Chain A
Amino acid sequence: MEIATSPNGTRLLKVWFAILVVFLYAPLLLLLIFSFNDNNLPVFPLRGFTTDAYRQFVSNPELKASIVTSVKVAALSSLGAIILGLLASIVLVRRDFFGRGGVSALLLSPLVVPYIALAIGLLVFFNEASLPLGIKSIVMGHIVVSIPYAILILVPRLERLDARLEEAARDLGAGALQTFRLITFPLLLPALVSAYLVAFVLSFDEIVIAYFVNGQVTTFPLYLFSTLRFPTLLPQVLAVACVVMAASAFILIGAEIARRVIERRLGTDLSESAAEPA
């Protein structure tokens, strides 16, 4: 007997799964449909097919400027997050020390602390320190919230990395840095790229922290937020939303597949084959 479910149970689970997939994707599909609709408002009935909205957003300088800003913020903050996340992950996996639990709790806490509290804290901090608000302050905040994601991606990879490879390098006379550069880093690279992309997409989309510490700078989500007051801009917003979501999904899924393939080729994963589905 299949103990997990009965045939009827399986059918019910499949139906529920299908319902949830529809629930998750229907709104996105509606955005896509209305981004091609020949109407300034996303309303029924559909009038006809047009790519005007896509042409408009490509020639909207403010929108383009906001995307450039967000790319800068995301590129810098995810770089910071993977460097700091890598340092923390190495220590958390390879060393034991007093206060390890507290350190790991501190580094992971931005996962659950409401962003509004983080954002307000940064606002107060930058004000007290008399530091200007702008790209830099957003980047600093985004690093805080991206570090836990970097750690959650890097720690399992480090744990499955065969420590004997590093030991062999050390036995053959390599220094600590040389071992890291020649052994650990190349083996970690796929996971680092993965962490970088996740942090990048997270930062590109982040609005709460950006909203409170942006100063005069407009990031992409902030620009979208500002357009809500001008309904005529809505078709462009829908169009650009579709492009951005498709690009993010493409990047993340592509990176995930690439990472799995590369890590399997590297063949250092002693446990992965056991974890694979039959």
Chain B
Amino acid sequence: MAVEAQEIARPETRRRARRARPGFVTTGLLAPPVLWLVIFFLVPVVLIALYSVNVFSLYPGGQYFTLDSWKNFLDGSPFLDLFWKSVRMSLIVSVAAVLAAYPIAYFIALVASRRKYVLLLLILTPFLVSYFLRLLAWKVILGDQGVINTFLYWTGIRAEGDPVSWLIYSQFAVILTLVYVYVPFVALPIFVSLDSLDRRLLEAAADLGASRWQAFRKVTLPLSLPGVIAAFIFVFIPTIGEYFTPLLVGGVNGTMFGNAIADQFGQSLNWLNGSVLSFFLLTVVALLLAVFARFLTVRRVATG
């Protein structure tokens, strides 16, 4: 899988740029994909916003503008605590995933020059294969009657019926599973930034008397930071809203913000409150994206 990081060059700066065409061709080509996103992504976001201030409501006749749900939520509600707990867990997951993946990406990009695409494919394949089935695997492995605990009973390390209780239905289980799910994905953007590194810079650093460690700290690491930040964002943002991982292996302790949202729309049937939570999450995501946009929009991580 060839992977590269270049800026998506603006057509006028490219050598073989096509002449500018009448605007209606561009518009015509662009309209279907953009409209699709507008109808099935942006319009729903606006609807969520309207539900969150009760301008829209599940209950006919009950619509009127109010910020009460927002006030309740922001005024120290348990949901807000849950949000911060999710942020903490996502931070741990993203940092752990980046730390685990960096040496892998470094090894593939800068050391294993011969078989690099094979090695990259080896790391990426689990990610491409399945999210849900890998979740299931961990539920089977970590359970009280799961692979690890029954192995411990069988070998006599633990007494039968005395499972290692924190293995499942804990924050640990959620964090471990999420790191497992995201490590391959994280390795990709880091690999891309390291692979596009100009090796001559390292040679120059060596010629100028830099040690390996100095060359890494002053050349390689700074130049790979955009990839590291992109990788971090690619894990951090989606995991704040994780739903199925906490549901399957999290139990009560491992619940995350996404579970609260699902619960409001599901069992509680409180779309007003659920919309407040959803729109809050979307706002946080939008803010994070705005802050980190330059690491995401100019770089592309692509299979080529």
Contacts and interface: CB of A to CB of B under 8 A. Distances in A.
Interface of A: 1, 3-6, 9-10, 12-14, 16-17, 20-21, 23-25, 27-28, 30-31, 34, 41-45, 83-85, 87-88, 90-97, 100-101, 103-118, 120-125, 127-128, 140-141, 143-144, 147, 152-153, 155-157, 159-160, 162-164, 166-167, 194, 198, 201, 205-208, 211-212, 221, 224-225, 228, 234, 237-238, 241, 244-245, 248-249, 252-253, 256, 260, 272, 275, 277-278
Contact of B36 (A6, A96, A144): A144
Given A43-B146, A44-B150, A112-B233, A21 B122 contact: yes
Interface stretch (B25-33, B165-173, B221-229): B25-33
Interface centre among B18, B36, B133, B205 (most CB of A within 10 A): B133
Contact of B153 (A44, A87, A108): A44
Contact of B212 (A5, A25, A155): A5
Chain A interface helix/strand/loop/mixed: helix
A201 B271 CA distance: 32
Nearest to B293: A105
Contact of A90 (B29, B122, B233): B29
B16 to A, nearest CB: 4
B202 to A, nearest CB: 4
A159 B128 contact: no
26 contacts: A3-B206, A4-B202, A13-B111, A14-B107, A16-B103, A24-B180, A31-B133, A84-B32, A87-B32, A94-B11, A94-B18, A95-B20, A97-B26, A103-B34, A106-B42, A107-B33, A113-B41, A120-B265, A155-B300, A156-B4, A159-B8, A207-B131, A208-B244, A228-B139, A248-B128, A272-B2
Contacts of B80: none
Contact of B238 (A5, A23, A115, A141): A115
B132 A224 contact: yes
Contacts of A10: 111
Nearest to B23: A97
A198 B130 CA distance: 11
A55 B213 CA distance: 56
A117 B282 contact: yes
A194 B297 CA distance: 23
B254 interface: no
A116 B261 contact: yes
A85 B33 contact: yes
Given A24-B184, A87-B29, A156-B300, A96 B11 contact: yes
Contact of B136 (A84, A88, A237): A237
Contacts of A45: 150, 154
B104 A17 contact: yes
A263 to B, nearest CB: 9
Q: Report, nearest first, the 10 A-B pairs whose CB atoms are least far apart.
A: A114-B241, A121-B44, A156-B304, A43-B150, A84-B33, A13-B107, A88-B33, A125-B44, A27-B137, A4-B110
Contacts of B123: 20-21, 24
B9 A114 contact: no
Contacts of A277: 113-117
B43 to A, nearest CB: 6
A85 B33 CA distance: 7
B261 A238 contact: no
Given A121-B45, A207-B132, A275 B110 contact: no
A160 B302 CA distance: 13
Given A111-B234, A114-B242, A121-B45, A141 B282 contact: no
Given A24-B180, A120-B48, A238-B140, 8 more contacts: A1-B206, A1-B212, A3-B205, A25-B126, A27-B180, A83-B32, A201-B130, A212-B265
B296 to A, nearest CB: 8
B145 interface: yes
